[in-house]
Structure 1
Amino acid sequence: MTTAGSSTAAPAYKGWRGIRRAFGTPSALTMLLLGFGSGLPFLLIASMTLSTRLRDVGLDLGSIGLISLASFFYLLKFLWAPLIDRYVFPLTAFLGRRRSWLLASQLLVTVSLAALALSRPEMGVTTLVLWVLVGSFAGATQDSVVDAYRIEVAPATSQAALAATYTLGYRIGMIVSGAGALYLAEFRGWQVAYLAMAALMALPIVTTLVCREPVAPEATVVRRIDFFGAFWQPFTSFFSHNGLLLGLVLLAFVGLFKFPDQVIGVMAGPFYLDSGYTKADIATVSKLYGVWLGIGGAFLGGVCVAAFGFRKMLFLAALGVALSNLAFLLMAQYPAQIWAFYAAISADNLFQGFAGVVLVAFMSSLTDRNFTATQYALLVSLANLPGKFVGGVSGFIVEATSYSTFFVLSALTVVPTLLLLAWLWQRIVEPARDAGAAAGGGGSSA
């Protein structure tokens, strides 16, 4: 397995010199603002803000878990990512291959958030589910394009740093759509909250209009294949590059890496309410204090990957995410105690942020830049798919057992991930070490 590199040889910097060089990569501001656009709709469409809203209007836990499956497009974006790699979006083709899709998806996200603002789940969930489907499709498309853009504007040695910058914007978007939306819902109602979030999508839309289209390699393979080849060649390329066995193990490892975190995501909002915390408490602790800790964890992850490489950081991140789930036992044992809420959120968000950047940088190193959107979308979908589906029935698990049992079981799911990492340990090639020899065509710095 080799990592994707730039079209020109890149010096292999390690330690603090590598950190300074990686975080000095251009396009950081662009990635910050595009990250904000990706992070803003996620909680409103596919995660805690939506589930909190549904619980707030009286829906049962089982129904909330099932409704969360309507956001499944976030898990299946690799299915249409080949079209994003191969074609420009017709109506906005003047912007180029990446930005044409980006603008179209951002506009559709804006429309879906406005429609969700006008829906009334307490009167019936059909309309809400339909707009969750539309919003998750648009949000997933936006994420695919932003990921491809990030990988194409910088060499592999800078991906951890750009991932940290992107994560900063993403987490700020989550602060706004988490804490901001909950505060607005507490004092002005859910309709005002969702309309305000829709209006804030203007910021990433303007960024898309003014940012630069990344320059693709002159001999890019994707330009030379037909419509059907656009779908199968990214997958055959991945396995021909890594081999069948290693390729399958890599996909399984990515799929299980975030499982402990993903599986508890749907139940987080209902758990907070059932533990006696108000929406304002949740906004303050989980979506304001917690998200800033996540940002700190993200930058710590970027620094550690730039300084020390992947292997040890993958181990630390996987173990930390699983063990941080046990911190929620404090909230289960001491309901309505604000100190327990702060302690659990501190552990959870710090390791979430750290692990997120480590995984993003690792997945970026696995992509062939001729099929950036498709291969990365496949990896991201795999990183979320197992936990998302189990999360869809997590309400029934909690009702059959208890919140405490659920958190313990979620932490134990790290065992197969660590076993796969042990097998991969000597097969992972560090990007900074291999950067000068990497061969895939890179993008230009913008």
Structure 2
Amino acid sequence: MIKTRQEYLRVIFSGRMLVVFLMGFSSGLPLLLTGSVLQAWMQEEGVDLGTIGLFALVGLPYTLKFLWAPFLDRYSLGRMGRRRGWLLRVQVGLILALIGLGLTEPAISPLSVAGAALLVTFFSATQDIVIDAYRRESLADHELGLGSSFYVNGYRLGMLLASGGGLILADYLPFPQVYQLLALVMLSGVFTTLLAPEPGTSANLPKTLREAVIAPFLEYFRRPDAFLILLFILLYKIGDTMASHMTIPFYLDLGYSKTEIGALVKGFGFWATIVGGLIGGGVMLRLGIYRALWAFGLLQGISTAGFAVLGIYGYSLLGLAAVIVFENLSGGMGTAAYMAFMASLTNRKFTATQYALLSSLMGIPRVIVAAPTGFFAESFGWVPFFSCCALIAIPGLLLLRRFQSWL
């Protein structure tokens, strides 16, 4: 933990944090170019909704990235080092894949679009593996919280540019040109990689591919609380995730217009999340990860209960704004602490593999647990549903007490 103001400011304005922010931007930019932007392009070209829906499967590399992460721990490419050597080549591949995706023709050959999109998500997921490992290895343990918040904010800025900026550009330019322009924006990631220093590495790196594949899992699961840690990762943000999945139908059901939702949720909500991430990172420098996880977890639960209060109160623009700002602030802080916690768990010898495993696990609530939330809300009603989502935060917080001695 940092105690003096001088140390605090020196860490915040360090070059390491700028590099982490820019790398977060590079990670967030490609995500929605195979999501909402691609969906808009296919819709414009007259592709049927069933085919568009199936394109969700091109995101599989993001959930399976732990399968090839050991290769990135085992091998180094060129003279730039183990992390930067891989990162430069992956980013060049990602730029070429985005240009290739822009050259496809959705109306004529959806299969070629799927192949190009899958190539984009593969390079994007691989970039995430290397950047996550770089962040862990380049930051000291007490800097992980702030570094995670800088990374998350850069990530969200990249997503905003790709989705919002990409769709706005598509009103003035053909979609192929939009993809070419955004592929050029990815050059910012290449320049960051070229200028960033290679992080220090463990002296005892994997010497065989078998060691790189098997040893990270053996090392992790030999820890006393290995399975409880995985359970905590599943539970910590599960209530927040379940509630967030159903907020748009909830707002519409209360009578808010799409314009009101867009202005408040996407406007206030985005900036509140950015501010929350920065506050969370700064607070963690003072409190450390353990106390920050407790504080932010409690705030997440209270903010989720805010939806239940709004459900009782009914339509109110002021009430909606208050709930959205509070929920996104606490969510931004919780995410920063959550990612810092996962980074702190990784062994520097197997950073890429272990972080890829944990971050893949982090996506399970978003994909699987959130799936039946519509049935729950329909069966119980909005107020009981959001009340349950708030209470689900308690088991994860109770597990934290088990980790106090070493966290």
| Alignment of 1:149 onto 2:138 | no
The one-letter amino acid of 1:39's match is G
SS at match of 1:13: coil
| Alignment of 1:227 onto 2:203 | no
Alignment map for 1:283-294 (pairs within 5 Å): 286-287=265-266, 289-294=268-273
Task: Pick closer, same or farther for the CA change 1:423–1:277 going to 2, 3 Å.
Answer: closer
Of 209, 214, 218, the match for 1:236: 218
Task: Pick closer, same or farther for the CA change 1:362–1:195 going to 2, 3 Å.
Answer: same
Of 26, 32, 36, the match for 2:25: 36
Task: Pick closer, same or farther for the CA change 1:226–1:14 going to 2, 3 Å.
Answer: same
Q: Give the CA deviation at 1:204.
A: 0.6
Task: Pick closer, same or farther for the CA change 1:152–1:298 going to 2, 3 Å.
Answer: same
Cα distance in 2, alignment partners of residues 43 and 226 from structure 1: 36
SS at match of 1:359: helix
Task: Pick closer, same or farther for the CA change 1:232–1:192 going to 2, 3 Å.
Answer: same
1:421 corresponds in structure 2 to 397
SS at match of 1:94: coil
**TM-score with structure 2 setting the length:** 0.82
Of 246, 250, 264, the match for 2:229: 250
Cα distance in 1, alignment partners of residues 63 and 97 from structure 2: 18
1:67 corresponds in structure 2 to 55
1:367 corresponds in structure 2 to 346
Cα distance in 1, alignment partners of residues 250 and 117 from structure 2: 22
Unaligned runs of 5+ in 1: 1-11, 432-446
The one-letter amino acid of 1:35's match is G
The Cα offsets for residues 13-57 of structure 1, whole Å up to 9 and x where unpaired, read as 3485764454255422211211110111123235x5556666777
CA RMSD of aligned residues (A): 4.0
The Cα offsets for residues 181-237 of structure 1, whole Å up to 9 and x where unpaired, read as 2322345464444333222101111111222211223x2242xx3211111101111
2:258 corresponds in structure 1 to 277
| Alignment of 1:351 onto 2:330 | yes
Of 68, 85, 94, the match for 1:100: 85
- State which drifts further: 21-30 or 367-376: 21-30
Task: Pick closer, same or farther for the CA change 1:214–1:415 going to 2, 3 Å.
Answer: same
| Alignment of 1:311 onto 2:321 | no
Of 42, 65, 79, the match for 1:77: 65
Cα distance in 1, alignment partners of residues 243 and 118 from structure 2: 21
Q: Give the CA deviation at 1:382.
A: 0.9
Task: Pick closer, same or farther for the CA change 1:122–1:339 going to 2, 3 Å.
Answer: farther
The one-letter amino acid of 2:397's match is L
2:148 corresponds in structure 1 to 163
Taking CA–CA contacts closer than 8 Å with sequence separation of 6 or more, which of the two structures ends up with the larger relative contact order?
1
1:216 corresponds in structure 2 to 201
SS at match of 1:228: helix
The Cα offsets for residues 376-420 of structure 1, whole Å up to 9 and x where unpaired, read as 1111111112322455x57xx759976996897577356555313
Task: Pick closer, same or farther for the CA change 1:20–1:49 going to 2, 3 Å.
Answer: same
The one-letter amino acid of 2:33's match is L
- State which drifts further: 160-169 or 120-129: 120-129
Asked if the contact 2:145/2:336 (under 8 Å) is kept, the reply is yes
Q: Give the CA deviation at 1:73.
A: 1.3
Cα distance in 2, alignment partners of residues 268 and 199 from structure 1: 35
Task: Pick closer, same or farther for the CA change 1:403–1:189 going to 2, 3 Å.
Answer: farther
- Percent identity, please: 33
- The alignment covers a number of residue pairs equal to 404
Cα distance in 2, alignment partners of residues 288 and 122 from structure 1: 33
The one-letter amino acid of 1:84's match is L
Q: Give the CA deviation at 1:318.
A: 3.6
Asked if the contact 1:368/1:375 (under 8 Å) is kept, the reply is yes
Cα distance in 2, alignment partners of residues 66 and 168 from structure 1: 30
Q: Give the CA deviation at 1:249.
A: 1.0
Task: Pick closer, same or farther for the CA change 1:96–1:299 going to 2, 3 Å.
Answer: same
Alignment map for 1:372-411 (pairs within 5 Å): 372-390=351-369, 398=374, 409=385
Cα distance in 2, alignment partners of residues 382 and 255 from structure 1: 7
Q: Give the CA deviation at 1:105.
A: 2.0
**TM-score with structure 1 setting the length:** 0.75
Task: Pick closer, same or farther for the CA change 1:181–1:339 going to 2, 3 Å.
Answer: farther
Task: Pick closer, same or farther for the CA change 1:20–1:250 going to 2, 3 Å.
Answer: same
Alignment map for 1:188-207 (pairs within 5 Å): 188=173, 190-207=175-192
